[in-house]
Structure 1
Amino acid sequence: MSIVFRVKRHPQVAGFEQCVSFGAFNSEQQEVVYNIFCLCAMYFLPLIVITVCYVCIFCEIHRSSKELDEKREHRSTVGHVRLRRSDRRVLERARRRTLRMTVTIVAVFALCWLPYATITMWSVFVCTHM
């Protein structure tokens, strides 16, 4: 971005300067490719990565708690202490909270960056075809 963007003065408003990418590319296709790459690198790729990471975390918690349940059930058949019903409720509540937190974090990221992604897509697909 530091190579592509440059500070330009507004042609009609005195004293107004803005960082723009106008004139940085040899063709309109290069600018479209650049904008799509930036959108993917700053929105879609991180969204996919955090979604996959949180799904993996949730699956690991779910798997570990199931293994814990199975071990405790096995112990209860052998004569050891049984898992109390209240302990199972605590595990279920922890799973629900983890799922809720996961969905919240991914949704907040997606919603916070959605305006930027929308404007970028609009500028790439609408403005370049005018």
Structure 2
Amino acid sequence: SAHVVNIGSMAGRMPYPGGNAYCASKAAVHALGEAMNADLLGTSVKVSTIAPGAANTNFSPTRFEGDTEKARAVYEGFTPLNAGDISHAILCVLNTPPHVNIQHLDIMPTAQRNPYLLHRTS
């Protein structure tokens, strides 16, 4: 048996303006997971795709070409996910019983319900 865990993004399921290349690449990750699950039918190999929402990573500084002020503003007014949150979710997926395969896991901060619904406080 084995377990493949792909890291996708909510952006792969719900694209946003200005994110064409990123959203398309994450949609490909989701399609890869679907195809792998189909190809691995009848085996004990599990395939899971984890799709985080707003997570405080190096994505924003890269997206805004090093503009730290713009990158910081992305996470103002709410508590985003962090690497520990994602790794915890991965461990939960990996520790399921042999007969359980979590194929998709959307994980977002409580303040976010989809890429367009984000509650910020002042």
TM-score bucket of the superposed structures, by smaller chain: under 0.3
Q: Which has the larger radius of gyration?
A: 1
> By percentage of residues, which structure has more strand?
2
TM-score computed with the length of structure 1 as normaliser:
0.26
The structure, 1 or 2, with the larger RCO (C-alpha pairs under 8 Å, 6+ apart) is 2
> By percentage of residues, which structure has more helix?
1
